[in-house]
């Protein structure tokens, strides 16, 4: 079967899963040449086996809210592929969570994890539980109910979850605690843990910092650097805030931050004081609309995304999937944006990606640019296995080395002409080759 036929077949068998189709289509388009050169892949129906998750767990999560009312959510874990290591990937709690979104994330994670060079397969999980507005005790009860179903399916050498949207250190702590109680073991079954019980220094910062290191590598290919550049960032969560922190430390100007309510713009860049305030506000669940109450000079745009609101040299979408569409891409290009490095997973729509690639700007897809988060999770797993903790400097140096290596791989497989690297192609082929070869070596499973 040719890759286009595999795609058509997947759409027929798994209808109503647009995000999953989108993620698979992008990879299959990129790897077509490699696939056609390797007839053994077709003989062993490798592509289909790589696109369909190994297994999916779906379960009801019933929990008690603070008023004694019983609430029901859906919980899921997608174990996508473990050809190169135990299943590994985050857990997302957000009202939008459904099978299509988790299948796209687990699929992407498989290639991303392969790029890190560490031994990690791909997985993702989550729930349509919306943590916003819930009390700390409700969050704890929900996490415990979620793990009471999932604990049998995960383990340090089986499947290692971590955070994602709506899941940070607090939620990981509650889930790890309940896992430890049920499994009666203390192992590194979660990453992103608190520092006193096996967490790694630099894991909170890793996705955002890693994206900045990747961006530095891309800019270097054009003799550019972050210093003095205007950088538009979306989101105001873990990834966005640590990205902004690093951009500012490197002399860049962060001109936007946003949440699902709207965007705050600083056309000449947030001051340190303004950024510190936003960081603090977001750490206790504050909203972006509150920012102008403290800093009236900053303008809030309700319901808007950053891309059409402000001119920038660089865009780093770091909120959620499909948050930057074709018309946003046009506005960015018209405003002189020459680099896009994705902190979120699949934030740009296929139309936007096409515009960036046609314009030959520096465009890094999430599976390469945001791989520093899961890579540092891999480093946390290594420390847990050794029963040792490394210093922040040690972890940061390893993170930087991994991002440089991912960049080099993207260039190796993605150079399409002397003056242009297609990072989408590079990341997809490099990620795919390793997993495909491991699957071939292990037989039909």
Active site residues: 124
Q: Which is nearer to ligand 2IT, 254 or 368 (CB)?
A: 368
164 contacts ligand NDP (rule: CB under 6 A): yes
Per-residue mark of binding to ligand 2IT, 321-350 (x: CB under 6 A) = ------------------------x-----
Side-chain-side CA neighbours of 281 within 13 Å: the count stands at: 21
Name residues contacting ligand NDP, limited to 92-121 (CB under 6 A). 94, 96
Phi-psi category of residue 376: left, alpha or beta, with phi > 0 → left and psi -120 to 50 → alpha: alpha
Whole-number Å distance between alpha carbons of 352 and 150: 37
164 contacts ligand 2IT (rule: CB under 6 A): yes
Nearest distance, CB of residue 181 and ligand NDP, angstroms: 25
CA dihedral 326, 331, 333, 339 (to 10 degrees): -80
DSSP 220-269: HTTT--STT-EEEE---SHHHHHHHHHHHHTT-EEEEEEETTEEEE-TT-
161 contacts ligand NDP (rule: CB under 6 A): no
431 contacts ligand NDP (rule: CB under 6 A): no
Instruction: Provide the b/e sequence for 204-224 (b: ≥16 CB within 10 Å).
Output: bbbbbbbbbbbbbbbbeeeeb
319 contacts ligand 2IT (rule: CB under 6 A): no
191 contacts ligand 2IT (rule: CB under 6 A): yes
Q: Which sign, positive or negative, has the C-alpha torsion 118, 146, 138, 94?
A: positive
Choice from 27, 83, 145, 162 touching ligand 2IT (CB under 6 A)? 162
# binding residues, ligand 2IT (CB under 6 A): 12
Chain-centroid distance, C-alpha 299: 28
Point out which span in 7-15, 87-95, 209-217, 431-439 binds ligand 2IT (CB under 6 A).
87-95
Whole-number Å distance between alpha carbons of 428 and 421: 13
In the list ligand 2IT, ligand NDP, none, the entry touching 341 (Cβ below 5 to 8 angstroms by class) is none
Point out which span in 33-41, 212-220, 343-351, 432-440 binds ligand NDP (CB under 6 A).
343-351
Whole-number Å distance between alpha carbons of 124 and 104: 9
- Residues in the site for ligand NDP, rule: CB under 6 A? 94, 96, 163-166, 207, 235-240, 259-261, 318-320, 323, 343-345, 370, 373
């Amino acid at each position: 079967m040719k890759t286009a036929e595999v795609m058509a077949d997947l759409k027929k068998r798994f209808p109503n899963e647009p995000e999953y189709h989108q993620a698979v289509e992008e990879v299959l388009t990129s790897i077509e040449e490699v696939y056609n050169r390797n007839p053994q892949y077709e003989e062993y129906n490798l592509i289909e086996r790589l696109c369909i998750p190994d297994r999916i767990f779906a379960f009801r999560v019933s929990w008690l809210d603070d008023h004694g009312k019983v609430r029901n959510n859906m919980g899921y874990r997608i174990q996508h592929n473990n050809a190169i290591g135990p299943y590994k990937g985050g857990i997302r709690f957000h009202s939008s969570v459904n099978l299509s979104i988790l299948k796209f994330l687990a699929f992407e994670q498989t290639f991303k994890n392969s790029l890190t060079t560490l031994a990690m397969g791909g997985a993702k999980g989550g729930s349509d539980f919306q943590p916003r507005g819930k009390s700390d005790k409700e969050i704890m009860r929900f996490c415990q109910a979620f793990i009471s179903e999932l604990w049998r399916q995960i383990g340090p050498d089986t499947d290692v979850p971590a955070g994602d949207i709506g899941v940070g250190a607090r939620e990981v702590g509650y889930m790890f605690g309940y896992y430890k109680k049920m499994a009666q073991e203390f192992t590194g079954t979660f990453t992103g843990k608190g520092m006193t019980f096996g967490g790694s220094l630099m894991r909170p910062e890793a996705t955002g910092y890693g994206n900045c290191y990747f961006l530095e590598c891309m800019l270097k290919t054009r003799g550019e650097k972050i210093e003095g550049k205007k950088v538009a960032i979306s989101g105001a969560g873990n990834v966005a805030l640590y990205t902004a922190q690093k951009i500012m430390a490197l002399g860049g100007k962060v001109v936007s931050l946003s949440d699902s309510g709207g965007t705050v713009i600083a056309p000449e860049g947030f001051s340190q004081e303004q950024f510190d305030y936003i960081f603090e506000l977001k750490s206790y669940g504050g909203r972006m609309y509150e920012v102008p109450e403290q800093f009236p000079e900053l303008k809030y745009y309700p319901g808007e995304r950053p891309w059409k609101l402000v001119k920038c040299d660089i865009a780093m979408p770091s909120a959620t999937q499909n948050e930057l569409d074709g018309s946003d891409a046009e506005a960015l290009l018209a405003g002189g944006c020459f680099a896009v490095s994705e902190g979120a997973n699949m934030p740009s729509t296929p139309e936007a990606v096409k515009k960036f690639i046609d314009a030959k700007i520096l465009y890094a897809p999430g599976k390469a640019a945001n791989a520093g988060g899961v890579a540092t999770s891999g480093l946390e797993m290594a420390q847990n296995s050794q029963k040792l903790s490394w210093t922040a400097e040690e972890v940061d140096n390893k993170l930087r080395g991994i991002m440089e290596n991912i960049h080099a791989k993207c260039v190796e497989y993605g150079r399409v002409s002397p003056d242009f690297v297609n990072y989408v192609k590079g990341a997809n082929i490099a990620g795919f080759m390793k997993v495909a070869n491991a699957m071939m070596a292990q037989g039909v499973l």
